[in-house]
Amino acid sequence: MNSIPIEAGLLVAGILFMLGLISVLIRRNIIFMLISVEIMLNAAGMAFIVAGSKWMQTDGQVMFIFILTMAAAEVSVGLALILQIYHQLKTLDSDAANKMNG
């Protein structure tokens, strides 16, 4: 436990972020894109935790709590948007919502 190099933690965070990035690039379903954004936010928070654990400071954990709050607000608004899009377009395809209707 006392011999974890910091690169390992940052590498795990990077891999997780890349998985989320690939998923948000290749998916067309909006729910999956929202989930991928959650994964990417988690990876960013993990990088904060690793850095905070490196210098034994509380700032990393405080930043993670802020990211958590932001993710919660983001997912609620995003799901409301998904419901609205599904009611109007009857599909979850993100390419279907490319026309403005003003």
The HSE-up count of residue 20 (CA atoms within 13 Å, CB side) is 17
Task: Pick between residue 32 and residue 97 the one whose CB is nearest to another protein.
Answer: 32
Burial class (CB in 10 A: 0-12, 13-18, 19+), 82: middle
Report the C-alpha gap between 12 and 3 in whole angstroms.
16
Rule CB under 8 A: which residues touch another protein? 1-7, 9-12, 14-16, 18, 21-22, 25-29, 31-32, 34-35, 38-39, 42, 46, 49-50, 52-54, 56-62, 64-66, 68-77, 79-84, 86-87, 92
Q: Give whichever of 58 and 101 is closer to another protein, judged by the CB atom.
A: 58
Instruction: Output 55 or 99, the one with its CB closest to another protein.
Output: 55
Which amino acid does the sequence have at 52? Answer: G
